[in-house]
Amino acid sequence: MFDTDDFWYKTFEKTVDHVSPVDTEASVQDSLVIFINVEKEDEAQRDRVVKKAVENISWLARKTNRKKVVLHSFAHLSESKSSITFAEAVFKSIMDALCAKGLETSMTPFGYFLEFTIHVRGESLAKVWKSI
């Protein structure tokens, strides 16, 4: 999880066949950018994983006084990967729960490699790693 001044991304290459074609570029300022990998083991504990992810992200948002969150699928965080449809459902659930808590939450295009730049703040809480 990163507390950022600026996060810019642009779709580069589609990696999942069933997702809709997207050609987009966006920049988000003063937000938390959350790199997430949904693992195979998570499939047996979906509700717990979603709840813990939302708790951790909400905690960091309070600590850093952030109101914006960007979720980014980053399957390179582990060798273990859930099914694509499961990961998509988990991302949607996390996004919905964060929005319900009043956080302006968006997600980078799922199923795409992205070009991106990220300006992460220097404080110790600007770089937080959690394993759920």
Could you tell me which residues are beta bridge partners of residue 70?
33, 106
Above 70 in pLDDT, residue 105? yes
Instruction: Report yes or no on 58 lying in a domain.
Output: yes
Domain count, the chain: 1
Instruction: Report yes or no on 101 lying in a domain.
Output: yes
Q: What CATH number should be reported for the domain holding residue 100?
A: 3.50.80.10
**pLDDT tens column, 92-104:** 999 999 999 999 9
Above 80 in pLDDT, residue 110? yes
When mean pLDDT is compared across 65-69, 109-113, 116-120, the lowest value belongs to 109-113
Model pTM score: 0.92
Neighbours of 70 (CB within 10 A): 21
Rounded distance between C-alpha atoms, residue 84 and residue 11, angstroms? 18
Instruction: Report yes or no on 128 lying in a domain.
Output: no
Instruction: Report yes or no on 131 lying in a domain.
Output: no
First to last CA, the chain: 13
- In Å, what is the CA distance from 4 to each residue of 7, 28, 32, 103? 7, 9, 6, 15
Instruction: Report yes or no on 70 lying in a domain.
Output: yes
Phi, psi of 31 (to 5 degrees): -140, 165
Q: What is the extent of the structural domain holding 86?
A: 2-122
**pLDDT tens column, 32-60:** 999 999 999 999 999 999 999 999 999 99
Instruction: Report yes or no on 129 lying in a domain.
Output: no
Instruction: Report yes or no on 127 lying in a domain.
Output: no
Q: Which residue has the higher pLDDT, 78 or 13?
A: 13
Instruction: Report yes or no on 74 lying in a domain.
Output: yes
pLDDT band of 90, cuts 50, 70, 90: very high
